[in-house]
Structure 1
Amino acid sequence: MQNAHILFINPNSTASMTVKVGEAARAVASPGTRVTAINPSTGPAAIQGPEDGEAALPGLFALFDASLDADPSITAVVIACFDDTGLWELRARKRVPVLGIGEAAYHVASIAAEKFSVVTTLPISVPILEDNIARTGLSGRCARVRAANVPVLDLEIPGSDARLRVEREIEAALEADQIGAIALGCAGMADLASDLSARFKIPVIDGVASSVKLAEAIAR
């Protein structure tokens, strides 16, 4: 049985978010699973909309190629951006399995509940996520993609009201959407899922943890 070595690539250049992703992934990884988390040194500091996503692609693709060339032990690559930036282009190369944290969260949420909603950061991301959900074939299971009006980098600021805004949007979803699960729509929310699940008494799905378990299953 092959041990998993999962490479998380954060397509933006904010190292603190990459550290958070790596910590969240290691917290749920099975014994023997190795997690590496990296990001480009240049490019957008956050991916908020299609222009940022496009600007992140050169650094993402270069880091993907260099990492796989340097380390043949990698069993899966996870794109650690909920927009699933570059996912389909990299998956087409078929060098190793490539997952996106958005896609992983949608699949896990659809298993956890008949209907789920997504709570993401800014309204500019909503059309991208809706298109990704449709491409994944789960539009019929997703009640709504909601924006909490939280700039991505606010999630990295201690004492900001980012968490409160996310909580308010979850409350609105539970009141209006007739759902049984929430998918958190940003890698920067990875550390919130456990507490929010306990508070709201429903599965609150983090794409980082979801992708770890899916990548482990593929490796084994």
Structure 2
Amino acid sequence: MTRITVINPNTSGALTNTITAAAQAVSSADVTVTGVNPTVGVPSVESHAEETIAAVGVLDLVRARQADTDAYVIACFGDTGVHAAREVATCPVVGMTEAALQTACLVAHRFVVITMPPRTIAHSARVIRELGLEHRCTVVAVDVPVADLMGGSSHLLDAFTEAARAAMATDGAEAVVLGCAGLADLVAPMSRVLDVPVVDGVAAGVGIAAGLVAMGLNTSRANTFAAVELP
């Protein structure tokens, strides 16, 4: 049995439950998913300052869960704390943003990332730049706070669909990446309405994490992510 811990970097237990349920729904029978979040930190990650605080919570959870985890998925679009977590974790660490972008590359030549709220465009753009994918995607935003996802995301269907259609018309997008955790409710209806692939980063992250474990692959310790022991 492969044990995957999904870390929601903010302190919202309600959002963690939503994310965990979505991750479990796409997991195979031999994968167990446990969702966790810090008890101290920020209720949402919508700024650079909040991201810095949340990254500390990610590291604390990685260290606390080592004995019970075969792979981690960090469920925040912008991959909060992922690089640091890879130095500390004894197993693979997958960021939902990297997972979503790499998955989109496999199903479309060009795609659009729809994030929320607008100030977080910079967080998505950072990961896109690190992966060298600026030529294959564009980033747009829906102007709602992350707090709007606490009860699900189906009420955002029209706004996300409109943003996707605009990107398809003006930028040639052929697939959609949902740029925030907790948006899994939109995958099926948007896929049906738009007739293009719609990628949820948490689902992509869980699938990739399980695959890494199955292949016996872990983070390279050769240089960049050499193990770090924290006090």
Q: Which runs of 5+ in 1 are unaligned?
A: none
Q: Residue deviations 1:143-184, cap 9 Å, x none?
A: x10001121111224799533322221121122110110100
Q: 1:212 corresponds to which residue?
A: 206
CA contact (8 A) 1:183 1:206 kept: yes
The root-mean-square deviation of aligned C-alpha atoms, in Å, is 1.6
Task: Provide the rounded CA distance (Å) in 1 between the counterparts of 2:153 and 2:190.
Answer: 17
How many matched pairs?
214
Partner of 2:115: 120
Q: Matched residue of 1:187: which SS?
A: coil
Say whether residues 1:52 and 2:46 are aligned partners: no
Counterpart residue number, 1:111: 106
Cα-to-partner distance string for 1:48-103 (whole Å, 9 max, x where unaligned): 021110121222211110111x42xx211010111100011111335111001111
Is 1:141 aligned with 2:139? no
TM-score computed with the length of structure 1 as normaliser:
0.92
- Partner of residue 147 from structure 2, selected from 145, 153, 158: 153
**Is residue 11–residue 79 contact of structure 1 (8 Å, CA) maintained in 2?**
yes
Q: Which runs of 4+ in 1 moved over 4 A?
A: 157-161
Which of 72, 75, 80 in structure 2 is aligned with 1:77? 72
Q: Report the Cα distance in structure 2 between the residues aligned to 1:159 and 1:44, rounded to whole angstroms.
A: 20
Structure 2 spans left out of the alignment, 5+ residues: 215-231
Whole-angstrom CA distance in 2 between matches of 1:177 and 1:124: 21
TM-score (norm 2): 0.88
- 1:184 maps to amino acid: L
Which residue identity does 2:8 align to in structure 1?
N
Cα distance, 1:118 vs structure 2: 0.1
Q: In the alignment, is the contact (CA less than 8 A) between 2:190 and 2:198 conserved in 1? A: yes
How far apart are the structure 1 equivalents of 2:31 and 2:135? 34
Q: Report the identity percentage.
A: 36
Query: 2:191 corresponds to which letter in structure 1?
Result: S
Q: Secondary structure at the match of 1:7?
A: strand
Aligned amino acid, residue 149 of structure 1: D
